[in-house]
Amino acid sequence: MNKPEIILLGVNHKTAPVEVREKLALKEEETPPLQLFSEIPGCRETVFLSTCNRVEVIACADTPELMGHIKEFWFKRAGLDEAAVRDAFYECRGTEAVKHLFRVASSLDSMIVGEPQILGQLKDAYRAAAEAGSAGLILNRLLHRAFSVAKRVRTETRIASQAVSISYAAVELARKIFGDLKGKNALLVGAGEMAELAAQHLKANGVTGLAVANRTLQRAVDLARDLGGTAVSLEELDQELVRADIVISSTGAPGVVITADQVRSIMRPRRHRLLFFIDIAVPRDIDPEVNSIENVFLYDIDELKEVVEENRAEREKEAMKAERMVEEEVLKFVSWIDSLDIVPVIREIMARGEQIRKQELAKSSKCLNDLSKKQKKAVEALTRSIVNKLLHHPVTSIKQCRDMQNSDEFIAAACRLFNIEGAGHEEQRSGKAQDSQDGHAEQENVT
């Protein structure tokens, strides 16, 4: 009785350069990758995950040779020499494959630990497999369990609560100073990439007004249009400083752009409202003396980097908690996989006992006709109790055999003893058929 084996193989940002990853993504193929892989003999179920940082195939194998077949087919379609990418490729089977997928879903294997995008990408990959009918009993259960593990990690740890990018760290600091960013105004001085990213984060956190001041006005106009803000010239800087709550500066100027005297002069018109400066420029755009002015806060790029490193260290601590959760969830899932041979056997044994009980009662039906309704119920209960007690020890032994080294032999012997050979295979086939019907219903939960 062959147990289904989960296999996972692929490359990621740590093992292969982008030139290899983009070829393995099979983007230029006319036939969808899922359909291509499902045509490989022995490939019972398939999910294909392709992102900018990883390309992986998750499959349920009927034969131990499937891993080799997938690699041979995949390299050929991608136009890659296996020898050239052998060191970049990772291959996982069974428990190792389950653990890898759970770590990916929980963002423990990401370039930035705790980032949320990978879970959405994995859900998209599963949705495509469900729609194509290539995810059956095993992978449906595996992927939904992966989503649950990821949710548990995010709920029970703080793995995603600390900013680990310069732009997002700036926004987190702004939130600490103002509490709530809704209705606040931001000013971009210069149009650097990090400042633009920070502005996007600010908008996502409720900042409503956004002005962009730049030496080249056209660049300010273009960026303001992209961010849904307004463009101003550097000559209008003082007026915008009066209105702004948050100022992000990233010009390429050789010296100071915003002086301490300039900030002092605008505080009275501002009625001394809090003003937060983020200086991402090198050399610095804002006079460090600005930080000595009451109700004014200034952070430069070095201070932001310190925040990022502290947060990164904190995420690593949280990641250790998440790893323990993953280990626990892997054991649960592997236990379910191991039960696939056991559950149908137990079910068949119990059904066989019930069938024999009913047959024997039917033979004695003439004698039982003279009994009262209460007496008939007593006979039913008595015969059912006898069958259950006779089967209790065999069933208990089968349940316990999953921890034995020779569990497959034990289950096979039980099947022969009760004349129910192949029960496990029938269960898997019926389960797969049921899952193919329920694929669309399952994917409604992938949100």
* Residues 25, 31, 33: CA angle, nearest 5 degrees: 35
* Active-site hit among 52, 92, 367, 401: 52
Alpha helices in 87-159 (DSSP H): 94-105, 117-132, 137-156
With a CB cutoff of 8 Å and minimum separation 6, the contacts of 30 are none
Q: Outline where 246-300 has alpha helix (H).
A: 260-267
For 102, the token pair is 């759970």
CA distances from 105 to 61, 153, 222 (A): 21, 10, 37
Query: Strands 230-232 and 209-213, how do they pair?
Result: parallel
Alpha carbon distance 178, 172 (integer Å): 10
> Are residues 75 and 81 in contact, defined by beta-carbon separation less than 8 angstroms?
yes
Token representation of residue 131: 């729609």
Strand partners for 230:
211
Q: How far apart are CA 235 and CA 278, in angstroms?
A: 20
Unique residue bearing structure tokens 């029970």: 156
From CA 303, how far away is CA 279, in angstroms rounded?
10
| DSSP for residue 245 | S
DSSP code at position 242: H
Q: What are the phi and psi torsion angles at 189 (to 5°)? A: -110, 110
Q: Which of 310, 325, 298 is nearest to 161 (CA)?
A: 310
* Residue 401 is a catalytic residue: no
Query: 312 — alpha (psi -120 to 50), left (phi > 0) or beta?
Result: alpha
Coil, strand or helix at 338: helix
Residue 362 to residue 356: CA distance in whole angstroms: 10
Q: Which residues are catalytic?
A: 52
